[in-house]
Structure 1
Amino acid sequence: MKKLDVIYLPVFLLLAFLLYFNPFSSSFFLSAIHLFLGCFVLIKGSAYFVESTVDMAAKLGVSEHTIGLTVVAFGTSLPELAVSGIASYGGHVETAWGNVVGSNVTNILLILGVAMIITSIRPSKYAFRDAITMLAISIITIFLIFDGGLQFYDGILLLSFYFIFVYMLRKRGIEGEEMISRMSPPLTLLFFVAGITGVAMGADGMVRGAVSISSLLGVKEVAIAASIVALGTSLPELATSVVAAMKKHHGIAVGNVIGSNIMNLGLVLGFSSLLHTIPISIASASLLFFLLVSIATPLMLYRKWVGKVTGSIMLLLYVLFLIFVYL
């Protein structure tokens, strides 16, 4: 944790509270500010949460490998979980669904596409296997949608698949070296509380901003959620994969987006379905892109189509996705 984070923490908390208690705006400009400030508070809050939780785990003697598979992996999907969970609880089910499907498409087409343009990806031995897992849970999700949407029991099933995936991850690695705590206990607790506060209030701000913008523009909530909101909640994955690609950590660059997509379907969509029934049209453009991306990813990894040309094509497809969700 940097010293500047300690200095700016009161400012961060003040911004979070102002964002949360600020009412809906009838101005597009103010609603857009609300949305982007919510995104900033959400992402920063997620970072505080991850860093403080990692530090607490280190104090308890938990290994780096175990922390990576649990806290950090959960932390990268925390923005999606918070936004979709709050949206679903508040009855904005289009935002909840749009955020998940939009994040999954963004993760593959935009983030993995950018990573491929930066460097020719050499996927790890687990990449294809995880992509097949992602395809399997995607097909299961679409099958569950055929009755008109996702119900409470569908959420239970999706969460079950997520926990099975986490259990499979635990069997892959060794314990690893023990982490070293870097913060005092009071400071760790302070940043943990600030992180949780930022995540909750930032997610609420993003949802309210997105709903306000869709209402002002006469655009469906799912379109705003699948594009702007999804891009905002995918920023942690974007940063992680781009840095990993630049440093030639190909396994992290690919595994980050595939793992995040599995978590989005199992954990985020599963949890959101428990809070509120999510009606979904099987004929929607976003669902079609979601299915095509899920099918193409394992094929792409198996055939080793992971160079700059493929990355450029994926970016073009992402632009097409943004166009189609607004039609």
Structure 2
Amino acid sequence: MKFDEIIYLPILLIVFYILYISSFKIPVILLFAGFFILIKGSDFFINGAVGISSKLGISEHTIGLTIVAFGTSLPELAVSSLASYQKHASTAWGNVIGSNITNILLILGLAMLFSTIKPSRFAFKDAISMLAVSFLTIFLAFDGKLNFYDGLILLAFYVYFLYTLRGRGLEGEKIKGKAKGAILFLILGFFGIAFGGEAVVKGAVGIAHSLGIAEATVAGSIVAFGTSLPELATTIMAAIKKHYGIAVGNVIGSNVVNLALVLGISSMLANISLNLMTPMIFFFFLASFLILVILKEKWLSKIVSISFLILYAIFIATIYIF
């Protein structure tokens, strides 16, 4: 591990602290500073986790299905759980729902634009699991809220989802990573995620209050885009390098993690009031159905890509207008 890699995040955390105590009147600065530290913290956390996994000799496929999928959803977990704990329920659920829409319409849309995607044979089956947890979430929230027990049910679904992955290519090339210094990376990453998530929540709430915009709208657009940056980078790079399984799998896996794990934990921390009669919920289901259809019919083309990107633009316009 290089010295500049070790010192990089602590310096960022110091800069963040200065911004944190001085920028409450400038929430935009706080928001983007938080995004930067959040993403870098996630990167450090993933590097640390992969380093530890390499020492334990866990296969690459297993790491991809567990640690990497979890790692790219760390920003959503940090932001939504902190928002829920601080009683900003709209930010908590808006970030999760908005991130899932962003993952499908924007990120997968861009991936299809850069490369002709050829999904793995497991993609459609996993998309069904994603749609199932989507229906489960809405069913649990039909009374207008998600409570502690609803969160437990969502977490149970996540455990079941991981169980269904058993035996799926567990034998394979082992991860090659640097185990040395992995624990330090893990610790630095954890603090980066915690402080960055706090800044994003404060910045998003500040922007919403300053502009008179609903917290859920800011969370479903600006915050959701920011917390989806790891998925954006991973998916597009995988598509360009023709690792199609990673590209599609990352989108589907992250969406399952967001709903089952992130929203599950968030609703266990505090009750989350959820308005189902909103445009965001409509686009959430639309995006979930569309990915199922295109995987079933193998319609992963540039025409579909452009259609997805147009739908994402319509989604953003709609939630701000209505």
Q: Give me the whole-angstrom Cα distance separating, in 2, the residues matched to 1:287 and 1:23.
A: 36
Summarize deviations over 1:34-77 as a string: whole Å, max 9, x none.
Answer: 10110010010011011012112222333333333222221111
Aligned residues: 321
SS at the partner of 1:22?
Answer: helix
- Please tell me whether residue 226 in structure 1 is matched to residue 220 in structure 2: yes
The corresponding residue for 1:152 is 148
TM-score by length of 1: 0.94
The corresponding residue for 1:293 is 287
Q: Is the contact made by 2:9 and 2:192 (CA closer than 8 Å) also made in structure 1?
A: no
Percent of pairs identical after alignment? 53
The corresponding residue for 1:137 is 133
Write out aligned runs for 1:1-327 (5 A): 4-19=4-19, 21-22=20-21, 25-26=24-25, 30-184=26-180, 187-326=181-320, 327=322
Aligned-partner residue type, residue 192 of structure 1: L
Gaps of 5+ in 1: none
Aligned-partner residue type, residue 302 of structure 1: K
Aligned-partner residue type, residue 162 of structure 1: Y
How far residue 2 of structure 1 moved from its aligned partner, in angstroms, is 5.8
* Cα gap change, 1:178 to 1:250, in 2 (>3 Å): closer
Q: Give me the whole-angstrom Cα distance separating, in 1, the residues matched to 2:292 and 2:225.
A: 23
Q: Is the contact made by 2:140 and 2:146 (CA closer than 8 Å) also made in structure 1?
A: yes
SS at the partner of 1:170?
Answer: coil
Q: Give me the whole-angstrom Cα distance separating, in 2, the residues matched to 1:117 and 1:179.
A: 29
Q: Is the contact made by 1:210 and 1:225 (CA closer than 8 Å) also made in structure 2?
A: yes
Gaps of 5+ in 2: none
Q: Give me the whole-angstrom Cα distance separating, in 2, the residues matched to 1:287 and 1:2.
A: 45
SS at the partner of 2:171?
Answer: coil
- Aligned-residue CA RMSD (Å): 1.6
Aligned-partner residue type, residue 247 of structure 2: A
TM-score by length of 2: 0.95
Aligned-partner residue type, residue 234 of structure 1: S
Q: Is the contact made by 1:24 and 1:212 (CA closer than 8 Å) also made in structure 2?
A: no
Q: Give me the whole-angstrom Cα distance separating, in 2, the residues matched to 1:282 and 1:227.
A: 17
How far residue 121 of structure 1 moved from its aligned partner, in angstroms, is 1.2
Q: Give me the whole-angstrom Cα distance separating, in 2, the residues matched to 1:122 and 1:71.
A: 23
